């Protein structure tokens, strides 16, 4: 009985980390994209903690961008913004309390990594390549 009560408390405590987006509607993601200057947008979906959309860039070509549901920040892999080096990203992730960071790589304007949270749960992280901020945390499905 104590073990199941502990598990319930642990799940309730972890819920905010894996909650639904603060930007719950596709319309809100579309508004953030339009505010960032993308007039042609298609195929918006919520995936792995972020909004993803196909947008037409100034050069007329279509490409994928991601939107942080908490802030509306757009992560465009070809944006003219400097990105952090691996060492800075690792330092930011560890400063945020994650341990044993592994399988880290950069996909456009986001870094992706596997790590363990403070409770020992293995999680998948998405990290801003611009400032090292954790933008998405979800349980690692590969366990």
| pLDDT higher than threshold 60 for residue 132 | yes
pLDDT in tens, 5-43: 333 333 333 333 444 444 456 888 899 999 999 989 988
> DSSP letters of 64-132?
EEEE-TTT--EE-TTSS-----HHHHHHHHHHTT-EEEEEEEEETTEEEEEEE-TTS-EEEEEEETTT-
pLDDT in tens, 63-86: 999 999 989 999 999 988 999 999
pTM: 0.76
In eight-state DSSP terms, residue 16 is G
Q: Domains (ranges, CATH) in the chain?
A: 16-75 (3.10.450), 86-139 (3.10.450)
Greater confidence (27 vs 88) lies with 88
Do the Cβ atoms of 140 and 122 come closer than 8 Å?
Answer: yes
């Amino acid at each position: 009985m104590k073990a199941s009560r502990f598990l319930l408390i642990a799940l309730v405590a972890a819920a905010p980390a894996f909650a639904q987006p603060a930007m719950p509607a596709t319309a809100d993601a579309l508004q953030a994209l339009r505010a960032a200057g993308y007039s042609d947008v298609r195929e918006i979906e919520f995936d792995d903690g972020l909004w993803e959309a196909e947008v037409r860039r100034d050069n007329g070509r279509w490409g994928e961008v991601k939107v942080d549901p908490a802030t509306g920040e757009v992560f465009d892999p070809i944006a003219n913004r400097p990105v952090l080096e691996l060492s800075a990203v690792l330092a930011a992730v560890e400063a945020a309390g994650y341990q044993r960071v592994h399988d880290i790589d950069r996909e456009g304007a986001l870094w992706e990594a596997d790590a363990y949270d403070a409770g020992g749960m293995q999680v998948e992280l998405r990290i801003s390549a611009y400032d090292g901020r954790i933008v998405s945390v979800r349980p690692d499905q590969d366990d």
